Amino acid sequence: MSEESPQLPEVGPWALDKLERLRKYLSAYTTILRKQNLRYVYIDALAGAGQSLLRGDAGARQVLEGSPRVALNIKHPFRHYVFIEKDRARATELRKLKEEYGSTRRVTVVEGGCGAYLLDLANKRKQLRGWRGVVFLDPFGMQVPWEILASLGGTGVFEVILNLPIGMAVQRLMPRQLVKLTAERRARLDGYFGDPGWFDVVYPEDNTLFGLERF
């Protein structure tokens, strides 16, 4: 599609529940924070185009408002919104969203990957004084390593909401048989989870006739 009409991701009905949970959480968050002398920001780190296509019965699809619009439409808005998207066409759609809400919402659109932006933000401890925020991470794969989550959590400023891509990415790297787990896959999973502890959970030792073995 052209830059003006980006290809929208297709999602299943489960997305409705995810977005409703996000809406309720953000609504409660800003209702509480608005009574305190703090500035608060919502960061959608993998914002997409602000909408997606919802699969329905018999293959029918309808346009679904994405997390950026959900966040913008809560009753008590955040003081600042940051939408990050590396795809140029989708970032263009987010800028249109910024124009649409520009009179009532302070919106910044960052075109690029979220990793460097979030790590840089987490290192700005002095500038973050007096701020609170929510970072929403909804990846389609394993684009968010543990380093980013640990850095944001270490600030004491941000609450991080991560939609774990269990079926779409993580489980695909974990074969049922240990012999099929390559060193490359194991290294990727170590980086994603932050340490190798997942290995003993997924592939525990079993006491067999030949001693302790993993399968």
Question: Looking at this protein, which amino acid is placed at residue 85?
Answer: E
* Tokens of residue 120, six digits: 């840089």
Whether residue 143 is contained in a domain is answered as yes
Report the number of distinct structural domains present in the chain.
Answer: 2
* Tokens of residue 210, six digits: 């030949």
One domain for residues 104 and 74? yes
Whether residue 2 is contained in a domain is answered as no
Whether residue 118 is contained in a domain is answered as yes
CATH of residue 66's domain is 3.40.50
One domain for residues 53 and 73? yes
- Looking at residue 137, the DSSP 8-state letter turns out to be E
The residue behind tokens 């003993």 is 200
Q: What is the pLDDT of residue 27?
A: 98
One domain for residues 46 and 100? yes
22 in Cβ contact with 161 (< 8 Å)? yes
Supply the range of the domain harboring residue 180. Answer: 174-215
Whether residue 214 is contained in a domain is answered as yes
Whether residue 4 is contained in a domain is answered as no
Q: What is the pLDDT along the chain (215 residues), one digit of tens a residue?
A: 434 445 677 777 888 999 999 999 999 999 999 989 999 999 999 999 898 888 766 566 788 899 999 999 999 999 999 999 999 999 999 999 999 998 999 999 999 999 999 999 999 988 999 999 999 999 877 778 889 999 999 999 999 999 876 666 677 778 888 888 899 888 888 888 888 988 888 888 775 545 455 55
**Final residue in a domain of this structure, among 138, 164, 190:** 164
Residues 147, 9, 167, 16: is their CA dihedral positive or negative? Answer: positive
One domain for residues 113 and 195? no
One domain for residues 87 and 149? yes
Whether residue 78 is contained in a domain is answered as yes
Give residue 43's region: left, alpha or beta (phi > 0; psi -120 to 50).
Answer: beta
Coil/strand/helix, residue 47: coil
Q: Per 3-state DSSP, what percentage of the chain is helix, strand, and coil (rounded to 5)?
A: 40, 20, 35
One domain for residues 59 and 140? yes
One domain for residues 24 and 80? yes
Q: What is the pLDDT of residue 24?
A: 97
One domain for residues 58 and 124? yes
Tell me the C-alpha distance between 181 and 174, whole Å: 7
Q: What is the pLDDT of residue 33?
A: 94
Sheet holding 61-65, edge to edge: 10-11, 51-55, 61-65
The residue behind tokens 């997942």 is 198
Whether residue 169 is contained in a domain is answered as no
Residues 195, 201, 202, 208: is their CA dihedral positive or negative? Answer: positive
One domain for residues 146 and 215? no
One domain for residues 155 and 179? no
Tell me the C-alpha distance between 195 and 165, whole Å: 18
Whether residue 5 is contained in a domain is answered as no
* Tokens of residue 38, six digits: 């703090």
One domain for residues 99 and 63? yes
Using DSSP bridges, classify how beta strands 131-137 and 158-162 pair: parallel, antiparallel or unpaired.
parallel
